[in-house]
Chain A
């Protein structure tokens, strides 16, 4: 056991740091706290990484993965977090792609993986429905076979950033007579430009348009877009969620967030003294950082056991639960730190009635909005209560 970086790993870190410094898009610098990003902004770094061959480190090498060790992947995320880099979105890279390269056919791999790698094709996720949240298997959207097509009807919801999406992966019921709700579900890839798809914005409590309702009315999808076997979609859906969870801890980003919180707390004054020197507040930061260290080493242990050949298992649920709790506490403390200037709404954003005239310190911008927004993290990706059900069943055997 040791925590040392080998000379090769140090060289790798230097290479990565150098690459990021030279290639990270200038227009993205400082964009991290803004909430209303454009499609181009979201994809800018992804496209650079796609050209370099670094956009999909975790994939198997034959599909375009980098073959990095777990230590190299750790270094990679640390180095990106140092500059608050806007990383590739998970929907293509770490959600649908592993399903495609694991369960899809050769045609599907050839057709879809390159666009995900390069960042040219934007994917969205059609899982949740108004009546199927935590109980995902109760989903009602149907796909009925009609010749060479499936005809999709139903309503999906919480479709993140579907307004930008080119493709979506949808869970649909293909066998309404199956005995158990988990049976009779299929995993289908859908071109979002197909007639019959309507994407309607849902405005969230922080004012952003991040998620949508997606209505499907007689949407005709070629049968070759079925992934794997018909009615076996639930298996792929669970596999995808385990992959989603393993990247969800956000350790490097939270570490950067703690640094930022300290810097805010050193500028904010209480009775003329920096907030950071208040013992109460300083200890809250310490506790957060200690819990983050525990998460970091839990993730490192998980990565090490993954590198030893085990895929992301139910242990990744710990990373999801603890990672999101920490992200939430971080934004909670940040809002606490900025004091009165948490109140001004949507600085510089459209449709908020705030004309963009900066009031208060820059570091207060979006502190409240981000706090509100981050409440989603313990709800999405399988709520933290569902994660506990998974651990209870899969690990404790209860």
Chain B
């Protein structure tokens, strides 16, 4: 067992942390988020230059030979800076699917993801599917050698900035069957794709994405036809680990800001940080943050273990971090008092991001249920 970071990982953290400090301060971010574009393509280019977009991919695939731990390091810094650029949609999800694709797919898309030219968004959620990855009304019907896609994907994060989508669709079976799900790569400018773009409450951009008789070739399928669900779950678990790391970064800053504010703000003639009732809450925030770090390490390190172990680890982390994020976010605002409610202060924005992380890729209840179901599956083996 080893909890140390490699030299490369420490370098990534240091250089990214410097870049965010110098070019991603809160006021700059606020202007960017409120601008028409909502992001900075030139920032994305700088991330590419730093090697962040290549970091988690193998050297064989043209990456830097890192893995999920490198993504974890990046995401924690992104969480500290409330970075809105689409690292999870494009690198973790898009890249996560395509690194498991065919050589031709890797060549066509993956190198572009690593260079920053291709930007992917992951179109998996649907208006009536909630967090069930197999509850799909979007269909892909066989048409000659290819498929024709029809459907509506909900809240596709990063879609306004995307060049491509990874789309999940039903190729056979009934609406919630675990078999019969397939994964497609679809160019955003393909005939029949339309989007309705909007900002999200936490400063990012998303779209409703509509597919109307979108024809794709057989080469658009990632993985096996009808057997896409295990792949989707694998990549989703990687995304969960990544946003858990992002949450840790956001928690760290929200907590530090709160402690600092409690030192400055005076009431009844003393800094409010002298009040034990507030001290203990800030200690509870600290403990929640520390345990979130532990769970993020755990889930990230278990991504390459067997399927049940990996899924349980991801769900456990998501539950714990959902709870910790809610607690830390709410308490941070509460201890800031009225100032915590203002748009002007950063703390409320950390609260908003932490709140949204809980509902991404399944909320606390969803993952508690998933964890419990997986535990039941294990029980006969445990009884031997």
* Residues in chain B near residue A17, CB distance under 8 A: none
Select from chain A the residue with minimum beta-carbon distance to B318. A290
Partner of B259 from A262, A389, A396 at Cβ < 8 Å: A396
A interface list, Cβ under 8 A from B = 1-5, 70-71, 74, 259, 262, 266, 276, 279, 282-283, 285-287, 289-291, 293-298, 300-301, 304, 315, 318, 321-322, 385, 388-389, 391-392, 395-398
Contact A385 B280 (CB under 8 A): yes
- Nearest 10 interchain pairs by C-beta: A297-B294, A294-B291, A392-B279, A388-B283, A298-B294, A290-B316, A304-B3, A286-B372, A391-B283, A398-B273
Contact of B214 with A by CB under 8 A: no
Contact A398 B286 (CB under 8 A): no
Select from chain B the residue with minimum beta-carbon distance to A2. B2
User: Which of B1, B274, B320 neighbours the largest number of chain A CB atoms within 10 Å of its CB?
Assistant: B1
In whole angstroms, how far apart are the Cα atoms of A268 and B288 in the complex?
34
A1-B376 contact given A283-B369, A392-B279, CB 8 Å threshold: no
Contact B294 A282 (CB under 8 A): no
Looking at the assembled complex, report how far the CB atom of B250 sits from the nearest CB atom of chain A, in whole angstroms. Answer: 18
Task: Report 29 cross-chain contacts, Cβ distance below 8 Å, ordered by A residue.
Answer: A2-B1, A71-B1, A74-B1, A259-B382, A279-B372, A282-B376, A283-B372, A286-B375, A287-B319, A289-B316, A289-B375, A290-B319, A290-B320, A291-B291, A293-B320, A296-B294, A297-B297, A298-B290, A300-B294, A304-B2, A321-B287, A388-B284, A391-B283, A391-B287, A392-B276, A392-B283, A398-B259, A398-B262, A398-B273
* Residues in chain A near residue B301, CB distance under 8 A: 1-3
Q: A74-B1, A282-B376 are in contact. List 12 more A-B contacts (CB 8 A).
A: A3-B302, A262-B379, A290-B316, A290-B368, A295-B294, A296-B294, A300-B1, A301-B297, A391-B286, A395-B286, A398-B263, A398-B279
* Residues in chain B near residue A315, CB distance under 8 A: 290
Looking at the assembled complex, report how far the CB atom of B254 sits from the nearest CB atom of chain A, in whole angstroms. Answer: 14
Main secondary structure of the interface of A (DSSP, over half): helix
Select from chain A the residue with minimum beta-carbon distance to B278. A398
Interface residues of B in 174-229 (CB under 8 A from A): none
Contact B291 A298 (CB under 8 A): yes
Interface residues of B in 269-328 (CB under 8 A from A): 273-274, 276, 279-280, 282-284, 286-287, 290-295, 297-298, 300-302, 316, 319-320
Contact B294 A3 (CB under 8 A): no
Select from chain A the residue with minimum beta-carbon distance to B324. A294
Contact A291 B320 (CB under 8 A): yes
In whole angstroms, how far apart are the Cα atoms of A19 and B4 in the complex?
31
Contact of B147 with A by CB under 8 A: no
Contact B371 A290 (CB under 8 A): yes
In whole angstroms, how far apart are the Cα atoms of A72 and B302 in the complex?
20
Interface residues of B in 61-96 (CB under 8 A from A): 69
Partner of B1 from A293, A304, A392, A396 at Cβ < 8 Å: A304
In whole angstroms, how far apart are the Cα atoms of A262 and B290 in the complex?
28
Select from chain B the residue with minimum beta-carbon distance to A282. B372
Looking at the assembled complex, report how far the CB atom of B143 sits from the nearest CB atom of chain A, in whole angstroms. Answer: 43
In whole angstroms, how far apart are the Cα atoms of A71 and B375 in the complex?
26
In whole angstroms, how far apart are the Cα atoms of A276 and B372 in the complex?
10
Select from chain B the residue with minimum beta-carbon distance to A298. B294
* Residues in chain B near residue A3, CB distance under 8 A: 1, 301-302
Interface residues of B in 112-136 (CB under 8 A from A): none
Contact A4 B294 (CB under 8 A): no
A287-B368 contact given A1-B4, A388-B283, A398-B279, CB 8 Å threshold: yes
User: Which of B3, B259, B286, B368 neighbours the largest number of chain A CB atoms within 10 Å of its CB?
Assistant: B3
A293-B316 contact given A301-B3, A395-B286, CB 8 Å threshold: yes
* Residues in chain A near residue B280, CB distance under 8 A: 385, 388, 392
Contact A294 B283 (CB under 8 A): no
Looking at the assembled complex, report how far the CB atom of A160 sits from the nearest CB atom of chain B, in whole angstroms. Answer: 27
Select from chain B the residue with minimum beta-carbon distance to A281. B372
Select from chain B the residue with minimum beta-carbon distance to A70. B1
In whole angstroms, how far apart are the Cα atoms of A266 and B298 in the complex?
28
Contact B290 A389 (CB under 8 A): no
* Residues in chain B near residue A396, CB distance under 8 A: 259, 279, 282-283, 286
* Residues in chain B near residue A70, CB distance under 8 A: 1
Contact B3 A300 (CB under 8 A): yes
Contact B283 A5 (CB under 8 A): no
In whole angstroms, how far apart are the Cα atoms of A392 and B279 in the complex?
6
A322-B291 contact given A398-B259, A398-B262, CB 8 Å threshold: yes
* Residues in chain A near residue B263, CB distance under 8 A: 398
Interface residues of B in 318-350 (CB under 8 A from A): 319-320
In whole angstroms, how far apart are the Cα atoms of A46 and B302 in the complex?
35
User: Which of A74, A285, A296, A398 neighbours the largest number of chain B CB atoms within 10 Å of its CB?
Assistant: A398
Looking at the assembled complex, report how far the CB atom of A183 sits from the nearest CB atom of chain B, in whole angstroms. Answer: 24
Partner of B279 from A74, A297, A388 at Cβ < 8 Å: A388
In whole angstroms, how far apart are the Cα atoms of A397 and B279 in the complex?
10
* Residues in chain B near residue A290, CB distance under 8 A: 316, 319-320, 368, 371
In whole angstroms, how far apart are the Cα atoms of A289 and B168 in the complex?
32
Looking at the assembled complex, report how far the CB atom of A157 sits from the nearest CB atom of chain B, in whole angstroms. Answer: 25
Select from chain B the residue with minimum beta-carbon distance to A74. B1
* Residues in chain A near residue B273, CB distance under 8 A: 398
Contact B274 A294 (CB under 8 A): no
Select from chain B the residue with minimum beta-carbon distance to A390. B283
* Residues in chain B near residue A389, CB distance under 8 A: 276, 279
Looking at the assembled complex, report how far the CB atom of A1 sits from the nearest CB atom of chain B, in whole angstroms. Answer: 5
Looking at the assembled complex, report how far the CB atom of A309 sits from the nearest CB atom of chain B, in whole angstroms. Answer: 13
In whole angstroms, how far apart are the Cα atoms of A301 and B263 in the complex?
29
* Residues in chain A near residue B290, CB distance under 8 A: 298, 315, 318
Contact A286 B368 (CB under 8 A): yes
Select from chain B the residue with minimum beta-carbon distance to A6. B1
Looking at the assembled complex, report how far the CB atom of B138 sits from the nearest CB atom of chain A, in whole angstroms. Answer: 30
* Residues in chain B near residue A71, CB distance under 8 A: 1
Looking at the assembled complex, report how far the CB atom of B64 sits from the nearest CB atom of chain A, in whole angstroms. Answer: 16
In whole angstroms, how far apart are the Cα atoms of A388 and B279 in the complex?
8
* Residues in chain A near residue B1, CB distance under 8 A: 2-5, 70-71, 74, 300, 304
* Residues in chain B near residue A398, CB distance under 8 A: 259, 262-263, 273-274, 279, 282
In whole angstroms, how far apart are the Cα atoms of A206 and B262 in the complex?
42
Looking at the assembled complex, report how far the CB atom of B66 sits from the nearest CB atom of chain A, in whole angstroms. Answer: 11
In whole angstroms, how far apart are the Cα atoms of A2 and B305 in the complex?
11
